[in-house]
Structure 1
Amino acid sequence: MKRISYYISHKLFFSALFFTFSFVISAQEAAPKAGASAQELADKLANPVASLISVPLQNNLNYGIGPFNGSKYIINIQPVIPFKLTENLNLITRYILPVVDQRDITGNNTHQFGLSDATVTAFFAPKTKGLILGIGPAFLIPTATDELLGTEKFGVGPSVLVMHQGKGLSVGFIANQIWSVAGNEDRADFNQFYTQIFLSHSYKSGASLGVNAEITQNWDAKTTLISLNPSIGAVTKLGDQVVQFAISPLIPITGPSESKPDWGLRAILAFVFPGS
């Protein structure tokens, strides 16, 4: 059963990758149906605190991890739900629930499948143009179904977003620092900083090109994991449903030997609800 589930997860990833690539390539033909709003949607999706409901499914596949040359497939379910607090202030809630299927990570011929820990972030974001700011709390919630896939810790800390956005161009960073405050006392404390520095350029068709750098700093273990991720994406429609597709190679720059992959791929399908 483990071998079957692992085969299915890899098949699902490459199906998602092929599906995404096909739609990105065909977006130039599909995008005109979305009219002038296609680029506006692409810009809003590049803004982590845009007042826009979206449900991204981020598929990540990494190979060559650790001393056993392991592989890991993660699908991050990442709904973004905004709330209007006042005429000039929004609360943007972002949820990340990872589903993990990994082999040869914790040892040779080992396999784990299940939920990992969830991360919930709430940004208070004033309505501004040009320079965009967001600040609020981030929470680590121990939702893992296997002790090897999670921390068994509840954590909390600050999160911040700073970016500049003009028509067709978005540049900025998003960051959080989370400390564990409760949980299994026999497990190691969680003390981790994460930031993503991003740049993207959109086109009238809804297509976009971008690059981001993801940095994860584990303060207790004194390790730093950095990856560089160029991407190509497109906003289009599946029937009446607005969606965004994106594909990206994951290029590891540095990291500890036990967690740094040799290479990786990412495919994203995001369901967008622009009328919300």
Structure 2
Amino acid sequence: MYNYKNVIKACLVSLVSIQSAFAVEDPQNTEDWLRAAQNPLIPVLSVPMNYTLHGGADNGDVSIGSLQPIFPISLGDWNMINQLSLNIIGTPGVVEGIAELPEPDPGSGVAGLGDTNFTSLFSPANSGIFNWGIGPTFAFPTDTLFSSIEDRRSRQLGSGKFSVGPAAMIVYQPGPWTMGFKTKQIWSVLGADSRESVSQLILEPFANYNLGQGWYLTTNMDTIANWNSHSDNRWTVPVGGGMGKLFNLDSFAINTKLEGYYNVVRPDAAPDWSMNFTLQFMLPK
């Protein structure tokens, strides 16, 4: 059983430690870094690392650590914004309503590498305060146990299917605000016949309000629909938010944020709440 109070305390201590170690030197440059950190469609190389704890499910808590590098490619008047997501998952058994586990397989709990996701968005270059992008998204069945790649319990870590579908994003950044919406839909097209097919929609409205000196308020409410589930157990709808702080280190920056959400709509076997901590390294162009 995870002690979520200790996890939250550790995240807060890390945030304070980073703040005391680095000072913001250039407010204008800090604003530019914040705009890039909060808008994935701005072509800046960054490496977000995210830890999420989903708590309150009947079977127990699910812990997910994700490495999510964003690497843009310039194509003249267009940018191709690519994001890879590698997910290390610890699950106690069947827990529903989690994006990384669209069709969980029965079991007694495992830890290891889950499915790998890749999204590529084509976005116009130099589009000012309004950005948009559209492109494909993929989910690869890379679920593997740390202890053994042959153990069938690794099925609990992923869908067992190769899935593909469309993705889109819009971002608007007037003044201190960053507001946007991301969405993607995947359908399974290849994989083990013994596994359930995947049809999952993710809707991600998000907003940030910058307070100055690198501080900001944030919300990113990932709403999930697993269409193959019964209508009473299809949707996960969270409500919540958090606070972030960007540390301007001149030639690069570190963005941090701590968030908490409560699922006001959820499947029967889903968690009640989630909290996550993000550490994002912003690299120069």
Q: Unaligned stretches of 5+ in structure 2?
A: 96-104, 145-153
DSSP-derived class of the 2:196 partner: coil
Matched-pair contact (CA < 8 Å) for 1:42–1:208: no
How many corresponding residue pairs? Answer: 263
What is the TM-score with the length of structure 2 in the denominator? Answer: 0.84
Q: After the TM superposition, which residues 1-276 of structure 1 pair with which residues of structure 2 at under 5 Å, given as runs?
A: 13-14=7-8, 17-23=11-17, 26=19, 30-66=22-58, 68=59, 70-86=60-76, 88-103=77-92, 105=94, 110-127=108-125, 128-145=127-144, 146-221=154-229, 222=231, 223-236=234-247, 242-259=253-270, 261-273=271-283, 275-276=284-285
Distance 1:103 1:238, change over 3 A: farther
Q: CA deviation at 1:207?
A: 1.3
Aligned-pair RMSD on alpha carbons? Answer: 2.7
DSSP-derived class of the 2:25 partner: helix
Kindly provide the CA deviation profile for residues 239-271 of structure 1, in whole angstroms up to 9, marking residues without a partner as x. Answer: 975211100112211110112x12221111111
CA–CA separation in structure 2 for the residues paired with 1:109 and 1:90: 43
Q: CA deviation at 1:190?
A: 0.6
Matched-pair contact (CA < 8 Å) for 1:56–1:271: yes
Kindly provide the CA deviation profile for residues 116-169 of structure 1, in whole angstroms up to 9, marking residues without a partner as x. Answer: 111100000102013211000000111111101111100111000122112321
CA–CA separation in structure 2 for the residues paired with 1:100 and 1:238: 32
DSSP-derived class of the 2:253 partner: strand
Matched-pair contact (CA < 8 Å) for 1:71–1:104: no
Matched-pair contact (CA < 8 Å) for 1:231–1:247: yes
CA–CA separation in structure 2 for the residues paired with 1:173 and 1:136: 14
Distance 1:239 1:83, change over 3 A: closer
CA–CA separation in structure 1 for the residues paired with 2:240 and 2:251: 30
Kindly provide the CA deviation profile for residues 12-54 of structure 1, in whole angstroms up to 9, marking residues without a partner as x. Answer: 9557513444258x47x94532442112111111112111111
CA–CA separation in structure 2 for the residues paired with 1:242 and 1:96: 21
DSSP-derived class of the 2:33 partner: helix
What is the TM-score with the length of structure 1 in the denominator? Answer: 0.86
CA–CA separation in structure 1 for the residues paired with 2:86 and 2:72: 18
Counterpart AA for 2:54: N
Q: Unaligned stretches of 5+ in structure 1?
A: 1-5
Q: Which of the pair is proportionally richer in strand?
A: 1
